[in-house]
Amino acid sequence: MSKSMWITPEEAMRKKKIKKNLMYISIMIFTIVLSAVVTVLVNSI
């Protein structure tokens, strides 16, 4: 185990926060894309 492998609690918290933010952002983007697709499908009928 090299010294660079160990992360401090602060770094671990930062990584968790980034992962949480990425999850929220991806859910938002997915929702926007989904609603756009639904709108296009409804308008084309």
User: Structural domain boundaries of the chain?
Assistant: 9-44
Q: What CA–CA distance (Å, rounded) separates 21 from 27?
A: 10
42: confidence class by pLDDT, cuts 50, 70, 90? very high
2: confidence class by pLDDT, cuts 50, 70, 90? low
- Looking at residue 12, what DSSP letter applies? H
Stated pTM of the model: 0.62
Q: What CA–CA distance (Å, rounded) separates 18 from 28?
A: 15
Give the model confidence (pLDDT) of 3-31 as tens digits: 566 778 899 999 999 999 999 999 999 99
pLDDT of residue 3: 59
